[in-house]
Structure 1
């Protein structure tokens, strides 16, 4: 009877704690949403946990006043089903799912980072210049001014594999959260001959653009980078690129 009386309150507290676990006490929320949504997650977690505490206090007072737990016979089946809602919250609290990786990227249809051929602003001075994969792809595919020509760039992403032995540096782009993620990738050539790195390995690759196909055409995608160096790194706290 007590379990049924405190069940809804415990569910609220558990859900609130799970949200606070990933947003207030760590950066794990960046696996799922953009950084700007953190305050809303924190507030949501506090509200849910607070409501759970209030529900528990009210339930205890009600039980103390009545000395009985009325009506549980009619709601027992519904409460048992409601407990299933605790499983996602418990998983998020104890075992937060990883960020999207190569599986999601390979299932995503090819996405071009810009539309239409045109000129782009000049790159920052100095080599290598750090670019996101989306920035590199846009310039490689659509920049009629060839701003990448003769420049050394540095890109960061995770490894995905092609069917023909090629491998790509890949990054997922999000507008709001992981649910709207699309893929940006760059083919890497000229690395060591001992085979491509394992899928989902995070790497920073430095190299030069290798022109392929006519600007704006399907033959120009994905763009190619002739690698000069490739270094394995840990997954960034924020694994997604922003649109």
Structure 2
């Protein structure tokens, strides 16, 4: 009776392997981008409100941790590939000669399947957007968004507003100026010199406005606030400016004719603030 030689399986050898996988790299890049904008800078203010910063930091840390676990963990496919080297000779499994035979009809298909399982090279293309997000964070919303949405004000209906603080020029938010210009029957803006800060938007008819976006939670729910500027030439679109001037009445408060308009006496360029959105 012919002897059958059997190679004993040495058993599992648990250890961690560091192997680059697109899934793990993608998670690490996304997590690093979140930490860059939220932990190491104030870029997150372009996209969300200040109070959401801790959640962004925690999310970035979790994504990086999951990505590292994905790079270190051994996959089920790797374990099966290692076990293929410990098959019985002369048993029910394939012999070494059979496995190495290139003329076997299924040999090419077997190698092709393993090539696709172990080398998903096209999946690395998914890391390109994440790498771009890490290196080049998107800018804050600007004139493109403001031009496509009408200003919404917090006041509900016409009425008398509280008196403004003493002193000219008076710094006002665009929301406060627009509300009083459109709804204040007491004309509290009359005779006052105000100062507004925002970015420039330009209309097709040649008119221009100073604008700012107001967010409730994040940039996805941004609302545009615009004040038309008269008496001064328009800077380039998206330029941040501080405009000083006086209120220009356009119609009865509470009607469609009442619009926020400012007669400018000076327009000065200014640096964009770290938080480009206007608070409620």
SS at match of 1:107: coil
Q: How many residues align?
A: 236
Aligned partners of 1:139 and 1:235: how far apart in 2? 25
Partner of 1:229: 266
Aligned pairs for 1:205-220 within 5 A: 205-220=243-258
TM-score (norm 1): 0.87
Structure of greater Rg: 2
Asked whether the equivalents of residues 5 and 59 of structure 1 are also in contact (C-alpha less than 8 Å), the reply is: no
1:33, distance to aligned residue in structure 2 (A): 0.8
Query: Deviation at 1:186?
Result: 0.5
Distance of aligned partners of 1:35 and 1:119 in 2 relative to their CA distance in 1, 3 Å threshold: same
Secondary structure of 2:212's match?
strand
Q: How many Å apart are 1:224 and its aligned residue?
A: 0.7
Partner SS state of residue 72, structure 2: helix
Structure 1 residues not aligned, in runs of 5+: none
Offset at 1:166? 1.2
Distance 1:197 1:106 in 2: 16
Out of 165, 177, 184, the position equivalent to 2:206 is: 165
Between 96-105 and 65-74, report the one with greater CA deviation: 65-74
Map of 2:156 onto structure 1: 115
Instruction: Point out the structure with the larger helix share.
Output: 1
Consecutive unaligned residues in structure 2, runs of 5 or more: 1-16, 85-112
Instruction: Give the whole-Å Cα distance in 1 for the aligned partners of 2:39 and 2:124.
Output: 25
Matched, 1:196 2:234: yes
Q: Distance in 1 between matches of 2:81 and 2:68?
A: 21
Is residue 170–residue 186 contact of structure 1 (8 Å, CA) maintained in 2? yes
